[in-house]
Structure 1
Amino acid sequence: MKFRRRAGNVAREEVFLNLTSLIDVIFVLLLFFVVTTTFSRPNQLKIELPEASSGSPPTQTELKQLEIAIGADGQYQVNAQSLLTNDLASLMSALQRESEGDNSLPLTISADAKTPHQAFITAMDAAGKLGFAHLRITTVEAKAAP
């Protein structure tokens, strides 16, 4: 079949698709997903603290606090930031960077109960070399023997 064109100068109608409502729906969905998303910290070390029968809970302070977390494998984290290497120099540089040179800040060392003794001593050595005097070691309260 062959169709003939109409003779003359006939203007074609432009097809216009209104996308405003579609864009509104997309933005509402985007906003919904952003608000309902939960953010987790997958790089946090899982630490099982050792038990102690004596001690006192930490006091709340307005000062910035530093925390060294040591995993069971000897992996270090300073204020929830994992270190690339587990040596004294990198631990000292991370502490220096996080404290911004202020060694009067309280420093908490949280080590897993199965942490190698050397990893804990390295953390204490780094804190001592940088002049930190307010050290805390975290434990959990021991259960009473039946």
Structure 2
Amino acid sequence: MSRRKKKVKAEDKAEIDLTPMLDVVFIMLIFFIVTASFIKEKSLGLNVPEDNDQPPPPDAESKSILIQVNSNDEIFIDQRRVDIRSVRSLIAQKSAENPEGGVVVMADELSTAQVYVAIADAAREAKIYNVSLVPRKSR
């Protein structure tokens, strides 16, 4: 008879205890909640100027070199069309007149980024490191 009792007791203890598994699940849940709250989204802060159809008038004492780029990637300095190869020398010439000035590129929204990069590279070759981009809507 003792063998039968042992078999009955073994069958009673065949149940699975879920408490340790639930503890592990709750610990994992707490871990994911805590780590998810410390993730910061990285964003690029842009200050886009207001919609104006006309460019702002240049100041009388403006020390910046204004370079305009139209939708056909044509470059204009002082209202004259300029080839990309002569941009560096013109920037160097104008920076000699106003050494504190930077370069402002007023580019049409349909112009390519290659032109802006070429102008920025030319300015850096002329030892001017303050290059700003002002987007302009095409007409």
**TM-score, length-scaled by structure 1:** 0.47
User: Whose helix proportion is higher, 1 or 2?
Assistant: 2
User: Greater CA radius of gyration, 1 or 2?
Assistant: 2
